[in-house]
Amino acid sequence: MEVSPENVVKLKEKVVAGGKVVKGKMAFIICNMRKFKNADLKGQQIHNQREKESHTNPDIDRNRAHLNYDLLHDKRVDYKAMINEHIEKNVETKRAIRKDAVRCCSFMISASPEFFEKLSPESEREFFKSNLEFIQERYGKENVMYASVHKDETTPHMHVGLVPITKEKKLSAKQIFNKVEMKQLQEAIGKHNEKFGLQRGEPSDKKYLEIHKFKLEADKEKLKEVSLKKIEMEQAVDQISGRLDDLKKTAFEAQAVDQIEERVKEKGFLTKTVQLSREDFEQVKSLAKAGDVFRKDNNSLENELERERSRTNELSKENQRLKSENMSLKAEKRELELENRFLKRSINKFMDVFKEKKQEYMIIFGHLKATMLRKMNMKIKDHHFENQNELKGAQYFLDNEEKERQKKAPKKNRDREQDNGLEL
């Protein structure tokens, strides 16, 4: 099959292995970062090490899970234990680390889908290894906990886990990854990957894409590619159909042979010859030669046309599948946004109610403190309480306690009892 080079160039720009561009389109380095607290580490471990089958990520192909690898570990590791042990050994602080502190900053590093199309496994591994070394050198090799490469999704990518420990031995993601550092990081990693034929993406006012957004963009690129291939196939089919029409035309012209005037001349006893004009003879001769060639070409083209129609049908199905996945991801994004708004409103409502009931809660809390102190056989003193509302709650407890004691005491003793009040 021959497809016009001019049409192919108009339809698709050619990209060679390793992301080096022949014409036009350039591949980009992709790097974003997410922050994880202590409660999030187990979920990140399950996702990175594929410990459970995911029902929320349709991009994961379980048949390719064996291709995944970690550049720092040969086997599965416990993220939570490993990261907390590192923090305990390397963070110097007089205060206990807050429960909601960011304990791991996870980078997702990848590139435009076309970058990986003709990249060998060795070159691909070298790309990820080089970017791991970039992160280690910039933020401390000892602070990098994992480097998990996923090849079982739409586009190969690497998750690099970093414990955000400052030079002063403090745990502070906010101090390390401020706005200035995030901007400088994007510029630095873009420059680092120029050797792979990649360039940094155009600046944007949007924050770094989350994973599901990145996959949505990757699917859009794949959808465009499939659409281009489909157009190429349709053009090829049109070309083949055109050549079949030419063959039919030639066959029609061949019917003119039947209309050539014959002049039969007897020669000898049983021999007859047909006399043709030189022009008619040349036409018959040319058509006879062309007929055999066209018959073979016709069979070959019909087979090729059937194959191309089959490929076009498969591409149409793939196109439809990607559109469905695209719609699914958009629906999931809308659902997450709605859920996020609901949670924010719920938290704000709770805070409003809490402010209204704060004084009442403090009195109840003071009463509870006094109850516990009495059960522990300790004296109830004012320094046990932080404010006047708590003291008021403690006084309620003592008043009730005195009332109960008065009820149980003999009447002659009641007259001599006095209200001790709060013990000081």
Average pLDDT over residues 382-397: 89
Q: Taking 60 as the threshold, does the pLDDT of residue 172 lie above it?
A: yes
- Left, alpha or beta for 197 (phi > 0: left; psi -120 to 50: alpha)? left
Integer Cα distance of 369 and 393 in angstroms: 9
Q: Residue 49: CB partners within 8 Å, gap ≥ 6?
A: 70, 76, 77, 148
pLDDT at 176: 93
Q: Which of 71-85, 285-299, 323-337 has the lowest mean pLDDT?
A: 285-299
Average pLDDT over residues 179-206: 82
Integer Cα distance of 68 and 84 in angstroms: 25
Average pLDDT over residues 12-17: 33
pLDDT at 285: 65
Q: 3-state class of 164 per DSSP? A: coil
pLDDT at 85: 94
Over pLDDT 70: what percentage of the chain?
69
What's the pLDDT tens digit per position in 22-40? Answer: 344 578 899 999 999 999 9
Q: Taking 80 as the threshold, does the pLDDT of residue 233 lie above it?
A: no
Pick 165 or 224 by higher pLDDT: 165
**Helix axis angle, 79-90 relative to 41-48, nearest 10°?**
130
Pair 96, 175: CB distance under 8 Å: no
Domains assigned to the chain: 5-208 (3.30.930.30)
Quick one: DSSP state of residue 171? B
pLDDT at 9: 33
Integer Cα distance of 189 and 191 in angstroms: 5
Pair 230, 312: CB distance under 8 Å: yes
Pick 13 or 418 by higher pLDDT: 418
pLDDT at 5: 37
pLDDT at 289: 63
Separation in Å, CA 399 to CA 193, 268, 288, 359: 75, 150, 123, 20
Pick 284 or 377 by higher pLDDT: 377
pLDDT at 4: 41
Pick 185 or 217 by higher pLDDT: 185
| Averaged pLDDT of the chain | 78
* Whether the model pTM is above 0.95: no
